[in-house]
Amino acid sequence: MLPCKRALVLSRRLATPCITPRTRRIHSAATAAAATTTAAAAAAAAAAAAAVNARSSVSEAELQKFVKVSQEWWDPQGAFKYLHTMNAPRIRFIRDILADVHRVTGEERDSTKWLAGKSVVDVGCGGGLASESLARLGLKVLGIDAAAENISIARVHNPGLFPQLEYKQTTAEQLVAQKEGAGFDAVVSLEVIEHVTDPVLFCKSLVELAKPGAPLLVSTMNRTLLSLLVDVVLPEYVLRSVPRGTHDHSKFITPRELREIFMSLGAQHLDTRGLILDPLSNQCHLVPADLGVFSNVGIQANYIMAFRKND
């Protein structure tokens, strides 16, 4: 990790995100999604629902990147070592958001009893890193992934958690179309959206999977020069701890873009935190978006964002 003062200076210099044609497409799609639905439009949307739900935001090329290294999911020094590193801070954030949404306070907040029986879907669960951690909190977890290889790895890793934790090979769009499990108490998708072909369609499915008032939690990477350095160049080309080509910087999404997408789809923003990942020491720290007088300095690379579906 860069020394604090140096990091703040660098972050201020690198704070302006790259503007790409994809940025404009995301803004256009989000604006379109925000249009108010009239009764006539609702009827038309219902008639077209089957066709829309048949679409998928899954990229076969991106999927194959993870299939090739699927045997390494539970190797803390393998291709997914930084997901292992980020797992504990992400789970802590998810638990805190759930406590806030359900207004859990005091000593009860420190226990896990209040989490028992609440349902969560982990979209793009991979080998089950986050799914297992969520299930150990007492949550009823369904982990879904488009890759059969990932689901196979997840199922055999800790079968003792069944039926608290179940897995299914499917996509968010398919789960919505099949009307299976619709209405989860929380929807989670970690380091997935930067690999999909259509971020708006993907987020729409996440919102549709949530119960009214339920939280949605998404972690991803900001599209800045700093993220290019710490999430692509350093791990993939210098340290070679992540396979080359794993990430496409042009597909990273800024916090502003992600917030606009979810708000246009009927969700309100709750909180955003930075995940400061140091590839050299293999440590991760959950930090506020703003550090002192420096706005958004904590979310210049990896970040996690929480929303709540409107009632």
Identify the CA nearest to 227 among candidates 294, 293, 299.
299
CA atoms of 104 and 272, how far apart (whole Å): 20
92 marked as binding residue: no
Residue type, 145: D
234 marked as binding residue: no
Dihedral angle sign, alpha carbons of residues 207, 163, 195, 304: positive
Beta-carbon contacts of 205 under 8 Å, excluding residues fewer than 6 positions away, are: 57, 123, 171, 172, 173, 175, 176
249 marked as binding residue: no
What is the number of residues in the chain? Answer: 311
CA atoms of 78 and 61, how far apart (whole Å): 21
Cis peptide before 17 (omega within 30 of 0): no
Strand partners, 167: 143
216 marked as binding residue: no
Residue 63 token pair: 């999927």
β-pairing, 140-145 with 165-169? parallel
For the stretch 112-117, contacts whose Cβ atoms lie closer than 8 Å and that sit 24 or more positions apart, written own/partner, are: 112/137, 112/138, 113/138, 115/139
Residue 235 contacts residue 83 (beta carbons within 8 Å): no
124 marked as binding residue: yes
Residue 67 contacts residue 195 (beta carbons within 8 Å): no
Annotated binding site for Mg(2+): 191, 194-195
Which residues does the annotation place in the binding site for S-adenosyl-L-methionine? 90, 124, 145, 190
Q: Which residues are annotated as a binding site?
A: 90, 124, 145, 190-191, 194-195
